[in-house]
Structure 1
Amino acid sequence: MNRIILLLGVCLMIGASPAGAAEAGIWRSDTAHGYERYWTENRDGARFAIWCPPSHDIKAALIGIDINGRLPAPDTVVRVELNRKLIKFRVGHDGYIHNTCASCPDNLTYFWHQMRSAPRVMVLFDDKRYAGFSLRGIQKATPHSVCASQLSRNTR
C-alpha cells in the first residue's frame, strides 16, 4: 500500500512540474522579469525562447537556446535552419543571442516572420549539439510584428 501511495505521489509531482504541465512542442507566451517571453520546449527538454524587453525595442531582444541543459558557448555561431534557409546568429558573452549589431534587428525580423510560417526549426551549435523544435502554435503565441506591444497584439 505504501508503494502505491509513493508512486501516486511521484506521478502527481511530475505532472505538476512546469515541463510536465506544458505540452512539448507547443509555443507559449508569458512575462518573466519584465520581459515578454515566447518559448517552447521539445520532447528532449531543449528550450528555445525569444525575450522581448519592456520597451519593445527590437535591439534589446534576446534569443536563448538551451540544449542538453546548456546555452551555446560564448562568442560562437548558432546555425538555424528554417524553411530550408540557413540563418546564422552570433552568440554573446553570456550565451544569449543579442540584437545589438547594425544588421541584427533586420535579421531577427526576417527570422521572426519565417518562424511564423514554418512547421519547425532546427538548431546547431558549434559544439555539434543539435535540436529541433516544432513551431506549432507560434502564430497564436507571438504578435505579428517582432516584440510588438501587448496592445497591438490584441488588436490584430
Structure 2
Amino acid sequence: MSRIGKRPVTIPSGVTATVEGQTVKMKGPKGQLQFVVHDDVEVKFENGVITVAPRFETNRAQAMYGTARAQVANLVEGVTKGFEKKLEITGVGYRAAMQGKNLQLALGYSHDVVYPIPEGITVTVPKPTEITITGSNSQRVGQVAAEIRSYRPPEPYK
C-alpha cells in the first residue's frame, strides 16, 4: 500500500500558498489554482510546507489523504511549470490548424471538426500533424486532450 500522503509538499519560492479550512489556494508565475480537500482529510500549512493527514482511521480517509497530497503537489507543479500534452495525428489527409480561438481538425469526415478552446488552456499546432496542449491545471489539460482524441480514436489494427 502506497504511503505517498505521508510525504510533505514543499512550497518553492515564488509561489504563494494559503489554506483556508478545506480549500488550498496556490498562486505562482503560471496562474492561480485552488482545490477543495475531502472532509476526511486534514490539511496544515506551516513553514513553507503543506502536510496532509487523515482525520479518521478509516479506509476511505486513508485513500483520500494520498489523493489529496497528490492533488496539492499537482497544484504546486501547475503554478510553477505547468502541464503539457502532445497529440500526434496519423492518417492520410488528417491535419489540424488553429482558427482564432478554435482548433480545426480535418479527420476524414465530410466536414471539418471545430473544437473551441476552453479558458486557461493554450493549444498550439507546430506542424499540421501535431497538437500541443498546455495549461496550469493537469485535469483540464488531460480532459481537453481526451476530448480532441475522442473525435477520431487511434486505430489499433493498422
TM-score by length of 2: 0.23
TM-score by length of 1: 0.24
Higher strand share: 2
Quick check: which has more Rg, 1 or 2?
2
